Structure 1
Amino acid sequence: MTFYEQTPVPRPITILEPPISRPSDAPSATQSPIPIHPPRDTTPNDPKRTTISSPKPFPLPTLRLENRNLNHPASALLFTSINPATVLPDCLQNVLRLLYHTPSSHSFTPPPTRSVTLIFRDMDGVAYTTGTDLDHDHKEIHFNLNHISNVASRPNSPTRVRDEIIGVITHELVHCYQWDAKHTCPGGLIEGIADWVRLNCDLSPPHWKKEVDGAWDRGYQHTAYFLQYLEDIFGNSTIRHLNDHLRHHKYHQDSFWEEQFGLGVEELYEGYVQHHKEEERKNKKKQDDL
């Protein structure tokens, strides 16, 4: 079965309109359940609010929580900011919905993750995901308590702390459930997919912006915006299909992108760069006309 057997893939023109990680500052979020976009479903009472609309939830692994320093000042702040018993399952449902189809679909073929343990402790960096000593099917997400304290010391901290925690958790959960081309996928694409999920959960932080003056595989939000461009051009489920392709095949840059999009990644990225510059030009003209 080819990558786009059911839907022929259009070839983009020059300008087109329309997982161990240590993420940088994490995103802002909304109240649980965490909305996702797309698809965007509205409720009668609030047309701007987005909700999870799957007919039934995805099966979840065993979820565990561990705090290795209850005396840390961030510990009290952590548990007054979120309820892990609801936030962790909500985040994981969104991750699965964006990376896969429905729970009953034949294409629901995630990695065999049997448990996820969220561990808050003192360490360097922000967070990372790893397998356990038992086996790689049991995942651990390590989250730095000091980072929570640092966020709390910034302006607007009452709203940012909860948003930061949920954003980091979402990013790291992607690493528990994404495919990696049999351990050959470049790190920039791995991290880009994780931030693409974060972006489509409406969890992008205020400091994120599209920057096109570097390589496509810088990872994190830089690659996430490029992946969103591909999703916009080639249609919904593009990144789902890409993730599924990473399940079946080792990564070879010359063939990986050609097989799925009919173009090499550098040509695709050049289309994204030109599209972004055209959007900037239009926005500047609008500002000048005001």
Structure 2
Amino acid sequence: MKNKILIMMSTFNGEDFIKEQLDSIMAQTVDFDLLIRDDGSKDSTLEILKKYAKNKSNIRILVGENIGCNQSYFTLLKNAGVYKYYAFSDQDDIWDADKLQIAISTIENSKLEGPLLYGSCSKILKNNIITGTTKKKYTEINFYNTIVQNFLPGHSQVFNYELFKQIKCDLNYDNIYVYDAWITNVAAITGNIIFDNNPHTLYRMHNQNVLGFGENYISWIKNRFMKLINNEISQYSKQITYFTNVYYNDLNYNQKQEMLKFEKSKKNFLARIEYIFKTKLYRQSKIETMYFKILYLLNFYK
């Protein structure tokens, strides 16, 4: 096993910002390899990557056709090899120089064993101005939370080899809405999750973001409205069902019972009313939990 960390980055038409992110990765204070998969870029992204990789033995580039963000990251996992730690990277963020060192130290200082996933909140960068942070931890993070809330964004995730071994990659990617939520749920049922409320990344918000975070309540409401308009809740529900089927044998008895009720209660309005008053599922804040229950009641999780 290589006593270092593997950083996995998927790129697509990222020429505007990728140099800053690559520079911040090069400035990391830990020993790392960088595995990059270009997802069929049509701009100068690939040329930029090749310039950075020239004469650097710790950078490897995979070139492929456009298969989308989720499948691209799972393809990176398939090609990852054996390392002590793994991390995901977006193409357009800016990392603090000690981001990975803090993540690794936090994992090791936890004294926890088995599959471990570290995540943290990030500073939101919009038009080169820091406008807030991504979500912070307010209560326990476990399966009943993570199955209905994508709380650990991929750009903050660092995990150990034990969790890497638990991640299944030969999947139906049409059933996966967001890869990072999938990884988080694997950690929730097979190991432990460690969350850091201190930000170590500038998370860039712009029109090309695949997914984003609201900086305030108005943005939060607008973001949630757009998710409804774009039918994203239904897509997320599809992933929940698929994940439960793929990892059913890894769920404990109570988790299995909860997810059976989640699926069965979708079928009629009265059952959904009863379910939202009895469910163990929750989100990190009371207003988010209420939002989830209202959407479930109105059959958006169909």
| Higher normalized contact order (CA 8 Å, seq sep 6+, divided by chain length) | 1
Same fold (TM over 0.5): no
TM-score by length of structure 2 reads 0.30
Is the strand fraction higher in 1 or 2? 2
TM-score by length of structure 1 reads 0.31
